[in-house]
Amino acid sequence: MLRRALTLALSLAALSCGNAFEPQSSIQSLRILGVRNESPYTPPGETASLQILYYDGSKRAFDAQGNRRRTPQVLWLGGCFSPPGDLYFGCFPILAQLFSSLSAPGAPGAPPAPGAPNPLEFIGTGDTFKMKIPADIISRRPPEEIAALQAEGNVPYGLSYVFYAVCGGTIQPVPQDQATNGLPIGCFDPDTNERLGDDDFVIGYSPIYSYDTIRNKNPVVTGLEFEGAPSMNQPCAAGCGDKTRCGSQGFCIPVVPHCTERKAADCPTFRIKPTLRREDNIEKDEASPPIDGRTPDEVIWASFYASDGTLINDTVLINDANKGWVFDDSKGTEWSAPNAPAGESRVWVVVRDNRGGTAWTWQDLFVDLALTQQRLDGGRGRVEAARGEGAQLRRGPGAERLGDVLQHAAHGVHVVRESRRRPRQPLR
């Protein structure tokens, strides 16, 4: 069934996306937060190693008691190299031909013809995926295209695409006349066989650029600060202090009260900030044409997401192409707790650059009813965070939903989305 679904899906000439994104920072559905490639500019002939970060915040993910009741399915599709015009939708005819042998009548699983790629090498499941980049990914470009790139001051490159789908159920093929947004695969509840919608099924892609000599490294995040103090770095085995408790990841996490104010603007806020060092992250964008005679810096920014509560800033700029490093102690976000106890909650920090680099970490918190009557100084929620060495990186080019463009310059204040969820099991 899966093989048939792959062939059907990849025979399309175009693909569009569903409803617009919910507010970036508030996760009320199944969401892809990032995809990280160990080598963002994977050289020709080498292997791209990707990892996906997602969170299932859909109401269907929890039972009536707030316990998590499902594990999403992740599907990867690779094998699209040098599509026409460098456009992702140019991949579908290429991949349809590549995967057509998977459903060839009378020959299931037949080996590929001599010299032909094995389609099974470009299919994967789970949180990670590897794909080898062809050695001729750059030289296969027509000479006139390479000459045009050089004439514009650009460095010749190769381009590959990897597609991924995350489903809060099981992926199954559907008839073409029942396709959503033109894609004849669907996501179905495994118990009821009900077809699931956009809140439970997400499709995206990552472009992988290859250069002969230019490389890019992922951003380096050395830790987190919660209310100005290092956080997510005190192992539970060493003992957790006042207003902290042991979290599901084995580290002491802050315990905070839920908001009891009538107005969202009056809710106490807590500052969360990633720690990055300039010397670990500054790189020149050598693939871009010079600006005023100088090679521009790469652009770096951080995006914030929350499983519960509200974030004041969902995006902050870290490094500007012209101005350079603009990240300081004032940068970060402020988070306010939901209006009901939520148990263990999480705020993710995903740091990206404009060349496909990605890193991530997160801050866990426990929203506890027992603290709601405590008056905290200055009208701000303040929790004594654990102290010690830098926080570990967990799992962090940026995830792009089909038809969407990642906008790194976004700075916004989102309306509070009040939580009415029951306390739930720890995040995994």
Taking all residues of the chain, what is their mean pLDDT, rounded to a whole number?
78
Determine contact, residues 67/155, Cβ cutoff 8 Å. Answer: no
pLDDT for 19 equals 36
Mean pLDDT computed over 77-93: 89
Q: What percent of the chain has pLDDT over 70?
A: 73
pLDDT for 422 equals 36
Instruction: Tell me: pLDDT of 358 over 80.
Output: yes
The distance in angstroms from the start CA to the end CA of the chain is 30
Residues β-bridged to residue 343 = 367, 424
Whose tokens are 């693909």? That residue is 15
Region of residue 153 (left: phi > 0; alpha: psi -120 to 50; beta: else): left
Closest CA to 411 of 25, 127, 3, 13: 25
pLDDT for 22 equals 44
pLDDT for 208 equals 97
CA distances from 155 to 55, 97, 121, 151, 361 (A): 37, 30, 29, 10, 33
Q: Which of 212-221, 250-259, 327-336, 401-410 has the lowest mean pLDDT?
A: 401-410
Give tens-digit pLDDT for 133-150. Answer: 999 999 999 999 999 988
Non-local (6+) Cβ contacts of 258 within 8 A are 337, 338, 339, 340, 341, 342, 367, 368, 369, 372
pLDDT for 275 equals 95
Instruction: Tell me: pLDDT of 424 over 80.
Output: no
The pLDDT confidence band at residue 392, using thresholds 50, 70 and 90, is very low
pLDDT for 90 equals 87
Closest CA to 30 of 151, 204, 237, 152: 204
pLDDT for 299 equals 96
The pLDDT confidence band at residue 98, using thresholds 50, 70 and 90, is low
The pLDDT confidence band at residue 106, using thresholds 50, 70 and 90, is very low
Whole-model pTM: value is 0.79
Give tens-digit pLDDT for 142-179. Answer: 999 999 988 888 899 999 999 898 999 998 876 757 75
Q: Which of 122-126, 334-338, 413-417 has the lowest mean pLDDT?
A: 413-417
Instruction: Tell me: pLDDT of 1 over 70.
Output: no
